[in-house]
Structure 1
């Protein structure tokens, strides 16, 4: 399964889904570049301890 979160912020929901489900991929879309960048920094900093976080991709896009 793939989980998609539009309006991801810093990725709290993405991290939770990656850690607590069997999702194959966890994708987040955030319009604010600074939030997406900070979220990926936080997720990457914990990925060595929690390998499922490597399933997370958080990107900046405008969805119309």
Structure 2
């Protein structure tokens, strides 16, 4: 899917989300960095360059999963993983994805875990050891 279509799809999918749905409640620590708009994700994807089915995308602090969905829609990435500490936000995003049949194939590439990112062992080896990209030191 091209960038403009992906932006429209993500905007439509998450249009019903209100600020109150994602903001921290009074008395709870505010640890989110904010949301990135679909146009910003499009710029990020374009700046990365070729993303193919050998690539995996990880979003730490993924919130609703909107960035994950856009990567799934707009690139050939094989899988999009998200980590989100706030269960209510994660569940809300997953429900929205599940309620959108036209995007179900794309959203099938998305997996989100509810956890504190610092408690997860993300890799057992450096992920770029087998990278096809040039210029990485080993």
Question: TM (normalized to structure 2)?
Answer: 0.44
Give the whole-Å Cα distance in 2 for the aligned partners of 1:53 and 1:63: 22
Whether 1:23 aligns to 2:77 is yes
Cα deviation for residue 34 of structure 1 reads 0.4
CA distances 1:10-61 after superposition (whole Å, capped 9, x unpaired):
0110110010000100111001010111111111112x21211111111201
Within a 5 Å distance, the mapping from 1:1-64 to structure 2 comes to: 1-46=55-100, 48-50=101-103, 51-64=105-118
Q: Work out which of the two has the higher radius of gyration on C-alpha atoms and give 1 or 2.
A: 2
Task: List structure 1 segments (4+ residues) > 4 angstroms apart after TM superposition.
Answer: none
Answer yes or no: is the 8 Å Cα contact 2:84–2:117 preserved in 1: no
Structure 1 stretches lacking a partner, 5+ long: none
Q: Secondary structure at the match of 1:49?
A: helix
Q: Larger strand proportion, structure 1 or 2?
A: 1
RMSD of aligned alpha carbons: 0.9
Q: How many residues align?
A: 63
TM-score between both structures, scaled by the size of structure 1: 0.90
Q: Give ranges in structure 2 of 5+ residues lacking alignment.
A: 1-54, 119-138
